[in-house]
Amino acid sequence: MASDIIVFRYGHRHVRDYRVTSHCCLVSRAFGASKTYVMGETDEKILRTVDEMNAHWGKGAGVEFVDGWRKKLSEYQKKGYTSVHLTMYGTPLQEVEKELAKKDKLFVIIGSQKVEKEVYDKSDYNISVTLQPHSEIAALAVFLDRVQAGAELGKKFAGAKIEVEPTQRGKQVKEYAERKK
Amino acid sequence: MASDIIVFRYGHRHVRDYRVTSHCCLVSRAFGASKTYVMGETDEKILRTVDEMNAHWGKGAGVEFVDGWRKKLSEYQKKGYTSVHLTMYGTPLQEVEKELAKKDKLFVIIGSQKVEKEVYDKSDYNISVTLQPHSEIAALAVFLDRVQAGAELGKKFAGAKIEVEPTQRGKQVKEYAERKK
């Protein structure tokens, strides 16, 4: 299983994409990635949302806005990350997930608006999650779930002030006076 | 594996929720549900989006807007559907997915704004996908993927005018002069 996963969100339009990009960042965090890059103009509201999540629910992937994708992709490829671009046109996930699950480090690119052809060419893998149009949020979640074989579902986040106590009915949480180690 | 899955989106605010609700509807369709109900004022734009998808990419779950949740939940429970409410406070999915995968028919409720306590009480199961706050779109996708053991990933949609031909690089589609059976 990958020792590190980075998520790169290709494209973010200010205001218009706030909720969808937020969902991407929160999925990246909840499903165990260590960092989320968002390509686009810095959106303070998204940074605040994710920072607050990390402050309350424990330390997970933070967010950084960047201008372009080429430098980051090349930087992580040089560091030994396998790059995977999620697209409905790619190789079906189920055909390569075992191979991908063996990679030590993953750099996962998810689109929003139209993605340049060069992203398809420069990524090590182009992978589809179903061959139907749906949602980059859903594709990211299923991809992260499958390449980690569900290990992320029970992940504990260090430094949590609040944690869910699973229950069959209603809501139960544990709150800590000090941050949990 | 379930012979039928219905998705119920609890809550939709006109305009503001357009994109997130659309993603829910498209995930429901792409991951093999047969119908999506959305609780809220009818949003013609969402109906058009999903109708166009079904016209081009093959027949999957259509969308219907409804006023409330009680009638639909009770109607489907009477028809023998097992109801599952996805919530970060519920029983972890990985603990019950085998049991759920054996159910013949599923009625899956996903929230948006705050969900009434009664939904927790009346659902047969309250299930969490990770114990962290993230996205109902992601929770729905991972849930549908796991209870169907990935069978939905290769699903073919009848009546498609266009289909993806998976490829390692770029985009390839097949277009049909007549709708595919």
Please report the pLDDT score of residue A113 as a whole number.
74
User: B155 vs chain A: nearest CA distance in angstroms?
Assistant: 8
In whole angstroms, what is the distance from residue A78 CA to residue A25 CA? 24
Q: Which residues of chain A have pLDDT under 50?
A: none
pLDDT for the residue numbered B181: 67
Q: For position A15, what pLDDT does the model report? A: 86
Closest approach of A19 to chain B, Cα-based (Å) = 7
The pLDDT of residue A181: 67
For chain A, which domains are there?
4-150 (3.40.1280.10)
Per-residue HEC secondary structure of A125-178 comes to EEEECCCCCCCHHHHHHHHHHHHCCCHHHHCCCCCCCEEECCCCCCCCEEECCC
The H or E element containing residue A4 is strand A4-9
List A residues 93-132 in contact with B (Cβ-Cβ < 8 A): 93-94, 117, 120-121, 125-126, 128-132
CB atoms B30 and A171 under 8 Å = no
B23 vs A125, A138, A154: nearest CB: A138
Q: What is the pLDDT of residue A84?
A: 98
**Residue in chain B nearest A130 by alpha carbon:** B153
What's the pLDDT at A44? Answer: 96
A 24-63 near B (Cβ less than 8 A):
26-27, 29-31, 53, 57, 60
Residue B20 touches chain A, beta carbons under 8 Å: yes
pTM for this predicted structure = 0.97
A23 with B163: Cβ contact below 8 A: no
- Distance CA(B58)–CA(B179), nearest Å, equals 8
pLDDT digits (tens), chain B, 181 positions? 899 999 999 999 988 899 999 999 999 999 999 999 999 999 999 999 999 999 999 999 999 999 999 999 999 999 999 999 999 999 999 999 999 999 999 999 999 878 999 999 999 999 999 999 999 999 999 999 999 999 999 999 999 999 999 999 999 999 998 777 6
ipTM for the whole complex? 0.97
A166 CB neighbours in chain B (<8 A) are 89-92, 128, 131
